[in-house]
Structure 1
């Protein structure tokens, strides 16, 4: 296997990868998945070529790797990125393969002193339940790391745009080529550090769901069911303030207190003053109005005694015309 052939395979895979990145087709479409599969096969073939040629050794540093070969360190990163887009295989198996590729890539780059970043820790299956307040220092450190990677990413993109693209980088001098490849590797290192936590989380969720299916719990809700809330009562337009206080804001067939309880509440709060004086005209009018309201409310709440009394009063008024018994009006 000649290095030139390896270069051809790598370049072909890179071109397909760029087309996939700019494609407007759905990731799950047949055309997209076909090209994706072809690209992955080319990258796997290139990986086998690198192994057969023994291009890399753990006992060397990045400086000892030739400029034409250093780009092949990207192979596991490209495989990890493309594997994440596969929709035709079992998702959990796909995620596990992608994790292996990304971890291998970051570990290899760390071995070659291309980064000082540690591989994000994968959550343990037996990790204890987290209780207590959150670790603010850890959260702040994580936030600062993300900001740092974001700034570094933008800086790398600017530098790479000035230099050129991978397709035409071989036309540059060796120093420029090497600078470009190192920038490209750093860019993918940052991408891997961002992708791994998301892979961990999705894989953990799928494993949890798989265990539930094994126990026959797939039909049970995955989250705690919230206690049922009391249904809101319909609001009605009430005729006056007194009716609103007695019946509350809900439906009028569900009184919240009796008239006696309401008046006692008003007395206790000092809103109604009781004394032994003779009531004045205004007080007499208020008492008369209150009595009428009380009568109406008793009828509306189906007070049988009050209803019967009201009916008898109406019958009496029908038999006794207004003015009867008043001697001042006798003619």
Structure 2
């Protein structure tokens, strides 16, 4: 099914804060260093053969190994930007449908439709072999690419991604044990499923880019949410990292581009129909990164580790589900080198 055309304008000047974000020191406006980085990474629009659009950002030389990156649900892919270019790596940050200035989603995600479109973009950019990297729901895109294109994907780095709970090898009892967050209930029949879907509709949809939607923190986004236990917590460094927090606020502001965008994405990730390609068919080296505790439980990642042949699990002890994105530069560099990245907050590879 085709997606609806995007109608989002080019980025506008950052909004004026209603009140400071309680950091050390307090954040009273978007970080100037991030704004300079954003100006150096203008989004580009690729028009697909079916008329839909994909927005992407790129950095690096055409001859360098390419890493295609995909962000969490409801976030612009700027959430995965690195502070500096990654030496020797061509970074390609792709806004999946429903995000940024890519086409809006008109129905729940089905990866059999989305993956060929991403491949079409990569073909147009002259990218044959590449690596895939994804955070949270973006990790599902990265896994589905590796499963669908085993001859092209050289390696995959999956950061705190949901698990393939509807895989044929996963029993109903195991699914219930693993899915402690109730993600699989998003398509449930009856009142509960309806409540979940109504709650999801409109989340992370911020149409006026000049407005502060609660950057200091609110129930479903903003700094307080990123730091909360429900969102996975964060290392102490996050409390003083204005650049990182600014990019999260900006990525949320430019995230979902329609009221039902996040709902449709979650329905693809947490349903039988969404996962079109068997991740057990992944042939490339696959590195599964996860926080010790958080919204995405370690059991999801352990499930993916069981399904993906030879997948390596790396646990970040001090990171949360949000702050694990601090490690993108090191993870991308390690990925093209064929190894995992321990970083400053990791226990290293786990058996």
TM-score (norm 2): 0.25
Name the one with the larger strand percent.
Answer: 2
Q: Relative to total residues, which structure has the larger helix share, 1 or 2?
A: 1
